[in-house]
Amino acid sequence: MISKYFLVITAVVLGNFVHGAMRFDRLPGRHRLEGAKRCACSCGLMNRRRERLVGGEYAEFNEYPWVVALLLKGHYYCGGTLISDRYVLTAGHCVRGVNVKSLKVMVGEHMRSFPIETRSKAYQAVHYVVHPNFNHSNFESDIALVKLSDKVPYKWYARPACLPLPKRDYVGQLGLVAGWGRTTEKGEPSDLLKEILVPIFSNAGCRQLRYSDHEISDNMMCAGFTKGGTDSCHGDSGGPLMIRGKDKKVTVIGLVSWGEGCGRQGFPGVYTRVEKFLPWIEENTRDSCYCGSRTGRGL
């Protein structure tokens, strides 16, 4: 997770890209998975102790209670998003070929080196499914689901994000990214959960930068700064790109997937577009419980 504080503060103050200005003024909408069970809970509720400018450096303790850490043989390597009481959404390249017995998911994590500082808990992964169209050479359909050994009891420090409604346009809005990835392209992963704000491009706009036309498919989305500097990085893979609505609930709209280095000029981060995979998510999570309804109070 690479952040330049002055870039982030500028983005926060300006808001949505409309005639050179930005604003947080759109409700992202939440998707209800019709075949899934409903739970008496709400998705997308942040733990923010005070309203503040977001994206400077570190997140507050358990500010994003759905952001999880994936551990392979006890070592952190990818992020993910809790979307129900049993399933985590992550990138396909994070888990394909991984021995599920070596995979654990830390829920409620904040400081990786000192887990008892928060109420984090490690869940054994019992199964994962990678999208059948995932292609490691071009990161097409870079999405996967990880099933946990036990149901996650929802608490203030562990609860799910909302899923998006189909066919929503996020161009020009600010996306939130949170993760423990590298703080520089060749640096070390962050010990504390970090957050950044990045403006969301249209795919056409992204293709006009330094990516070639064929690299950015309709199942992807780009977010970042044309001048670089603020970006997701290695180790953030699988973590969420989020939108916060006027109702202050948070929806995961993208997954950190790939990019040309980290924070390079003309190469914004590329994310898996979650709304393109809602039927697949529903089909593979029917044995879990989701929060809320289509009314804006939940999924």
167-223 pLDDT, tens per residue? Answer: 899 999 999 999 998 877 777 888 899 998 999 999 999 998 888 888 999 999 999
Helix (H, G, I), strand (E, B) or coil at 283: helix
pLDDT at 299 over 90: no
Task: State whether 168 and 240 are in the same domain.
Answer: yes
pLDDT at 78 over 70: yes
Task: State whether 186 and 212 are in the same domain.
Answer: yes
106-145: per-residue pLDDT in tens? 999 998 887 666 689 999 999 999 999 999 999 999 999 9
Per-residue pLDDT, 207: 92
Judge whether 294 lies within some domain: no
Task: State whether 203 and 238 are in the same domain.
Answer: yes
Whether the Cβ atoms of residue 28 and residue 253 lie closer than 8 Å to each other: yes
Judge whether 248 lies within some domain: yes
The tally of domains found in the chain comes to: 2
Torsion angles phi and psi, residue 114, rounded to 5: -145, 70
Instruction: Report the C-alpha gap between 197 and 34 in whole angstroms.
Output: 32
Task: State whether 187 and 110 are in the same domain.
Answer: no
Position 18 confidence tier, pLDDT thresholds 50, 70, 90: very low
What residues have CB less than 8 Å from 274, skipping those under 6 apart? Answer: 89, 143, 163, 164, 252, 253, 254, 255, 281
Judge whether 11 lies within some domain: yes
Of the two residues 169 and 53, the one the predictor is more confident about is 169
Q: 138 exposed, middle or buried (CB, 10 Å; 0-12, 13-18, 19+)?
A: middle
Instruction: Report the C-alpha gap between 47 and 15 in whole angstroms.
Output: 22
Per-residue pLDDT, 259: 80
**Residues facing 175 on adjacent strands:** 198
Average pLDDT over residues 230-255: 90
Task: State whether 21 and 168 are in the same domain.
Answer: yes
Task: State whether 140 and 223 are in the same domain.
Answer: no
Per-residue pLDDT, 117: 62
Per-residue pLDDT, 10: 30
Mean pLDDT of the chain: 83
Judge whether 50 lies within some domain: no
- Which amino acid, residue 254? G
Task: State whether 166 and 240 are in the same domain.
Answer: yes
Cα distances (angstroms) measured from residue 170 to each of 6, 73, 117, 135, 206: 23, 37, 36, 25, 14
CATH code, domain carrying 111: 2.40.10.10
Task: State whether 125 and 176 are in the same domain.
Answer: no
Whether the Cβ atoms of residue 175 and residue 251 lie closer than 8 Å to each other: no
Judge whether 141 lies within some domain: yes
Judge whether 43 lies within some domain: no
Per-residue pLDDT, 292: 67
Task: State whether 96 and 141 are in the same domain.
Answer: yes
Cα distances (angstroms) measured from residue 156 to each of 64, 65, 159, 248, 293: 10, 7, 7, 15, 20
Task: State whether 149 and 190 are in the same domain.
Answer: no
What residues have CB less than 8 Å from 172, skipping those under 6 apart? Answer: 16, 17, 18, 22, 199, 200
Judge whether 296 lies within some domain: no
Judge whether 61 lies within some domain: no
Task: State whether 157 and 191 are in the same domain.
Answer: no
Instruction: Report the C-alpha gap between 284 and 290 in whole angstroms.
Output: 13
Of the two residues 37 and 136, the one the predictor is more confident about is 136
Per-residue pLDDT, 62: 92
Average pLDDT over residues 45-54: 69
Average pLDDT over residues 92-110: 97
Whether the Cβ atoms of residue 71 and residue 103 lie closer than 8 Å to each other: yes
Domain boundaries, position 21:
5-26+162-275
φ/ψ region of 46 (left if φ > 0, alpha if ψ in -120 to 50, else beta) reads: beta
Task: State whether 91 and 169 are in the same domain.
Answer: no
150-165: per-residue pLDDT in tens? 999 999 999 999 999 9
Q: Which residues are part of the catalytic machinery?
A: 93, 142, 237
